[in-house]
Every structure is written in structure tokens, then in C-alpha cells.
Amino acid sequence: MPGGTTDDRTEPTVPTAPESPWLRRPAPRPAATTTVLCLPHAGGNAGFFTPWARLLPPELELLAVQYPGRQDRLLEEPLVEMAALADALTAEILRTPLLGERRLVLFGHSMGASVAWEVALRLERGRGPRPRRLYVSGRPGPRHQHPADTYRLGEREFTDELRRLGGTNEELLADPEMRELLLPAIRADYQIVGTYAPDLDARVSCPIEAFTGDADPEATPDTVADWASATSGDFSLTVLPGDHFFLWPQGERMVAALGASALPAPPR
């Protein structure tokens, strides 16, 4: 499942610049040599990654993606097709001055993992920055991603599904006015994932590092290991304690893993 969630554990972020509605820069580091571009899960927002920005090594700067239809983009129509989302985000990456000559790595959780892979494919096929590494989290590999019509459920059934998966603040789900504001974007994200058909022959050339929780019923280690088939480069899998939202309790370990592999290896 896409892993839809939104709650008060995410932090508000300020847009980096008027010309970049997609990108948030919670801890600017002009001297950084590598940009870590983070893509949230279904129903998630850029603020989910704000705590990570403060924990990364100084050579790494975090940019977080803000999808349309949430927080400061609430009045925008959310996208409902993977290709449209990946195309729009890739175009934003190509025109933003925030990357400069830096190395680029991508991190995506749940739905964000599939979006990150699609963006990496597009960047490798074009003239833009080629990702040096792709991190995928809490998402089965392409051969284990199947259509689903969860997004078609009525409000009560859809809300129950969010409760089942966890990660959504119960107070928000219980408030009719908040549901009216939040559910359209979450439902749109579920539509993206539920109608997505990855190209099973496609491969990125950059290494893929995959992560999942040992108690995640949506992304078991065996299905997450299938990401090895989505790259012609190296692959590794790390299983950490936790469920689908293991990123919250395992945040420091995740950041440490990113910091250890996102930077270039020192010269011998």
C-alpha cells in the first residue's frame, strides 16, 4: 500500500524560493557538496524530513519535496498519475539553481520510493544531473507492485484503511473538517500508486540501497529485495526494527546510513 499518513509529527517548512514550489530547504548549507532529495510517502509532506536536515553531516544538504495539494500547496489540484508527478518533479529538478554542480542522491519512502525511481530513470535518460545513489524505503520492488482500487473507497472505508496502516493522527481522522481538507490529497496519492504500472524492464545505473521495517506488512524484506532487479548497479538491503513507519523511531539510524554512503569515498 502507499503508506498514506499525515499528522502533527511533521514540521512546517518555508518555501525555498517563489520559483520552486516543489522544494523545501529546511537547513541551508551553501557549502555542501551533495544534495539529498527526499520524497515523502502518500499523504506525506516535506516537513516529514525536517528533523533529518539537522542531523546530516555538513557536506550534505537536504531538500524535501512538497507535492501539490498539501500544506502551503493545499489549494493546488493534487496529481493522480505517476507519470505526471515524475515528469513535473524532474522538470523542477532540471531548472532549480539549488543543485548547482553538486552530487545528487534521491531518497523516497513508500510511494516516494517509486516516484524517486521514476525520476532517477528520467534524469539518467536526459541531460540533467545523474543521481549518484537511490535510496528506497518501505516499498516493495517493481515486480511486487500491483494495481489497487483503495482510492475508490467511500470516506468511512478509506479512513478505516488509513487507521489500519497507522501513522495518521486519530484526531485528524475524527475531525470532519480536517478530513475534508486532507483526504483529497491522500486519496490522489493512493490513486497514483493504485494505477501505477512500473516498466519491469527499466533499470537505473546508480546503486540502490533499500530499507524496510521488520514488522512492515506492506513491504516485507523479500519483496523489498526485488529492488535489486531495478538497477544495473550495486544493491543492498537493510532491515530495521519497526512497522511501515519505522522511519520515525529509526530516524537517527537512517540519517547515519545516508551520511555513510551518500558522500564520495575518500581517495586512497
Q: Does 110 participate in catalysis according to the annotation?
A: yes
Q: Does 244 participate in catalysis according to the annotation?
A: yes
Q: SS3 letters for 7-48?
A: CCCCCCCCECCCCCCCEECCCCCCCCCEEEEEECCCCCCHHH
Task: Compute the distance between CA of residue 41 and CA of residue 48 in angstroms, rounded to an integer.
Answer: 9
Structural element, H or E, at residue 171: helix 170-174
**Where are the strands (E) in 97-204, listed by range?**
103-109, 133-137
Residues sharing a CB contact under 8 Å with residue 91, sequence separation 6 or more, in sequence order: none
Total residue length of the chain: 268
Q: Note whether 186 and 43 are within 8 A (CB).
A: yes
Give Cα 207 distance to the centre of its chain.
17
Q: Note whether 36 and 60 are within 8 A (CB).
A: yes
Catalytic-role residue among 41, 109, 137, 244: 244
Catalytic-role residue among 110, 146, 236, 261: 110
Residues designated as active site: 110, 244
